[in-house]
Structure 1
Amino acid sequence: MSLFDPFQLKGLKLKNRVVMPPMCQYSVTKKDGIPNDWHYVHYVSRAIGGAGLIIFEMTDVEPDGRITDYDLGLWSDEAIPAFQRIIEACHNYGAKVGIQIGHAGRKAQDAPTPVAPSPIPFNHDFKTPRELTTDEVKEMVEKFRMSVRRAVKAGFDVIEIHGAHGYLIHQFHSPLTNKRHDEYGKDLTKFGREVVEAAKSEVPADMPLIMRISAAEYVDGGYGGDYAVEFSKEYQKAGIDLFHVSTGGEGPIGSGGQPGVHAGYQVPLARQIKQALHVPVIAVGKLDDPILANSIIGNEDADLVAVGRGMLRNPYWTLEAAVQLKKQIDIPVQYERGFPRISK
């Protein structure tokens, strides 16, 4: 297999295995969560650039669930047409489009009072969050459900639930941040499972459900890959079809167990999840080198490769990678003069 082989999971058919992962743009101008022309150009240019799957940045289920007031949101039907416009344009260039649905929890920087499983601030620069009541946790599950419903209505091809990087679902399943004594403290994956089950009830039967996880925490006492396997099994039982395997988010990088800074440092964790759960995975993290990205697929370490910063620098990363790897790819006719011909 190679980076440019097609991939299919349920009804999701991708022309290649290159993923643009969610990356916050902090570019909503009216603070209403609705995408604008920046988002249109940002995402559509990557579709023109050949990416197989584009995943919209974290899109929040309520206004105070955003990292900042300039993030996307899907708490209102009013946002649906703006998302539809971008999705339809990306489809015109052969890309499939996903969206990451999430809530920042204690990391909601602009919320007057952030909410979290327990009243533990992220650090001394962040506000101390208010602990959600048991009833509020159940209401939060419904907010996730309604955002997923709107995403399906907008026409997204796949939904990703954000369970990574120290945001709300991660805060619930991490022993570092969940000190509750109710049902959501006695069973740390209960909130995440209920979100997955709610999302599953809203998506078509042939639409896969993705979850992004942090498979290791880089803080003293943080969990590692073995614990990530255990909670991922619970989410898989609840309905997750594919895991997007990242790390970190519960503290400053390097505060306890410093991660490697080398290319592909998170790939072993993606491989661990893939092999333990027999489930497809997306690898991510310093995978900008096409040869490395291709080897990850060829060695069956992961099924898809997400290229983040590389695509921020170059919307046409996928086209350039195909040239370097001597793989056939459809180059927009307007740009053909800029690329060398590849013999069939």
Structure 2
Amino acid sequence: MSALFSPIRLRDLELPNRIMVAPMCQYSAEDGKANDWHFTHMNTLALSGAAMFCVEATHVEQIGRITPGCLGLWNDATEAALRPVLASVRRHSTIAIAIQLAHAGRKGSSHRPWEGGQQIPLTERGWQTVGPSEVAHKEGELKPLALDAVGLKRIRDAFVEAARRANRLGVDAVELHCAHGYLLHQFLSPISNHRTDKYGGSLQNRMRYPLEVFDAVRGVFPPKKPVGIKVSATDWVDGGWDIQQTIEFARELKKRGVDWIDVSSGGVSPQQKIPLAPGYQLPFAQAIREATGVTTMAVGLITEASHAEDIVASGKADMVALARGMLYDPRWAWHAAAELGGEVYAPPQYWRSQPASQKALFGETRFGAR
């Protein structure tokens, strides 16, 4: 049996394979509200054959967005806009739905990537960002306001309220975004966190706020539903956050019942030097898994079915999450199943889609309903 197409259980959530569609920012929302683009995007990838789809970074307050086009879940309007999109996915797919809850911190108020991605000045409808310290992401940008006790509570409560809204929407799992230089990662990294209070300085202090947010979300999301977290295992900058600190963070998360760790890297500093190559982040996922036993997801330039199979079969990670590979091939898991001898769900309207060569090898129902 293919390891990639073997089942895995996360609390009460039974997944038929080890593939997740990774959360991918679409920068296409309107004041945080999902729209027809999200119908297209989510419904397309919900039929990919993956076991779980993770909704893109969904921001817990308006100033927590990366760009004006980022998805949100901070009020009744944003919740209502997402409801029919998720309902449509449910009607046509058996895929589990997770949602990534996020706050951009000092990396907010930015133009969309295809508009240059630079910080939007306040005079051009940008907004004042916040962060652990008054340290800009890069030279020339407006510094964020350092969060005080009131601000820390406001954002923690916003994560909690967003988790409650996600549960009302029927979401199966939550992933907290603690990676890519966004707010929770900013607290972890000594590059962005220069505080001298209980939230800065030592590793224990820098971990404190992300762990408080995790505890608060875990406390309101139903116990039977999993809560995972996405981390950057290294800043790729000397003196920054690194894999050993990440392992200590993972140990603390394990004590609190984290259900998976989605292992990425980078994002907190433009000084990063990332050696891009297929599976370049895999050693971090493997190190966390071996040190802690926590379920891990591998991400980063995983495009070939044989590579994904080896990752799971060799025990380097428990699952894989694909982003660009899924956009390029929205039936990636179908094709992986054909190559590896696995089975995936497909709606009956598509059962006749298999090429004759695949039917001869695997039979008429290999892509069909389990």
TM-score bin, normalised by smaller chain: over 0.9
Q: Answer yes or no: is the 8 Å Cα contact 1:219–1:250 preserved in 2.
A: no
Query: SS of 2:316's equivalent?
Result: coil
Aligned-pair CA distance for 1:16: 1.3
- The amino acid across from 1:104 in the alignment is A
State whether structure 2 residue 82 is matched by structure 1 residue 79: no
Query: Hey, what does 2:292 align to over in structure 1?
Result: 277
SS of residue in 2 equivalent to 1:75: coil
How far did 1:160 drift? 0.4
The CA deviation at 1:217 is 0.8
In structure 2, C-alpha distance between the alignment counterparts of 1:278 and 1:20, rounded to whole Å: 23
- Paired letter, 2:256: A
Distance in structure 2 (CA, Å) of the matches to 1:166 and 1:331: 37
SS at match of 1:177: coil
CA shift for structure 1 position 321: 1.4
Structure-1 separation of matches of 2:149 and 2:265: 28
Contact 2:11–2:259 (8 Å) recurs in 1:
no
Which deviates more, 43-52 or 292-301? 43-52
User: Residue 185 of structure 1: SS of its match in structure 2?
Assistant: coil
- Comparing 198-207 with 85-94, greater Cα deviation is found at 85-94
Select which of 229, 232, 256 maps to 2:250.
232
Q: How does the TM-score come out when normalised to structure 1?
A: 0.94
Please give the alpha-carbon distance, in whole angstroms, between the structure 2 residues aligned to 1:119 and 1:216: 22
Percent identity at matched positions? 37
What is the CA-CA distance between 1:57 and the residue it aligns to? 0.6
8 A contact 1:117–1:131 mirrored in 2? yes
Q: How far apart are 1:125 and its partner, in Å?
A: 4.9
Match for residue 197 of structure 1?
A: 215
Separation of aligned partners in 1, 2:140 and 2:13: 42
- Provide the C-alpha distance between the structure 2 equivalents of 1:39 and 1:156, rounded to a whole number of angstroms: 16
Gaps of 5+ in 2: 111-125, 364-370
3-state SS of the aligned residue for 2:230? strand
Amino acid corresponding to residue 27 of structure 1 in structure 2: S
Unaligned segments of structure 1, at least 5 residues: none
Correspondence 1:241 to 2:256: no
1:51-100 deviation line (CA, Å, top 9, x unaligned): 21000111111111000010011110222233232223333311000000
**Where does residue 97 of structure 1 map in the other structure?**
97
Aligned length: 339
Q: Cα deviation per residue 1:287-327 (whole Å; 9 max; x = unaligned)?
A: 11111011111111111100110111121111121122232
* Aligned match for 2:309, one of 286, 294, 304: 294
CA displacement, residues 195-247 of structure 1 (integer Å, 9 cap, x when unaligned):
01110111111111100000011123223211110122223323322100000
Structure 2 match to 1:208 = 226
Encode CA deviations 1:249-300: one digit per residue, 9 max, x unaligned.
1123xx35x3332211111100111111111011100111111011111111
1:330 Cα shift?
3.2
Query: What is the alpha-carbon root mean square deviation over aligned residues?
Result: 1.6
Q: Name 2:43's counterpart in structure 1.
A: 44
Q: TM-score, normalised by structure 2?
A: 0.88
Distance 1:184 1:14 in 2: 37
Moved more, 19-28 or 89-98: 89-98
Change (3 A) 1:141 1:239: farther
Q: Which residue of 1 aligns with 2:153?
A: 138
Amino acid at match of 1:208: P
Q: In structure 1, the residue corresponding to 2:220 is in which secondary structure?
A: coil
3-state secondary structure, aligned to 2:101: strand
Distance in 2 (CA, whole Å) between partners of 1:198 and 1:239 is 12
Give the Cα separation in 1 of the matches to 2:249 and 2:257. 13
Distance 1:16 1:125, change over 3 A: farther
Q: 2: distance between equivalents of 1:8 and 1:87?
A: 22
Distance 1:47 1:15 in 2: 14
Compute the displacement of 1:112 (Å).
1.6
Give 2:237's aligned residue. 219
Aligned pairs (5 A) from 1:156-167? 156-167=171-182
- C-alpha spacing 1:15/1:83, structure 2 compared with 1 (3 Å): farther
Q: Who is 2:106 aligned against?
A: 106
Corresponding residue for residue 322 of structure 2: 307
Match of 2:8 in 1: 7
Q: CA deviation at 1:176?
A: 1.3
Tell me, in whole angstroms, the C-alpha distance in 2 between the residues paired with 1:88 and 1:207.
Answer: 19
2:132 to 117, 125, 128: 117
Q: Which amino acid aligns with 2:109?
A: Q
Distance in 2 between residues matched to 1:288 and 1:126, nearest whole Å: 35
Structure-2 residue corresponding to 1:337: 352
Check the 8 A contact 1:14/1:53 in 2, yes or no: yes
Corresponding residue number in structure 2 for 1:26: 27
Q: Distance in 2 between matches of 1:326 and 1:241?
A: 28
Inter-partner Cα distance in structure 1 for 2:11 and 2:22: 20
Q: By how many angstroms is 1:334 displaced?
A: 2.8
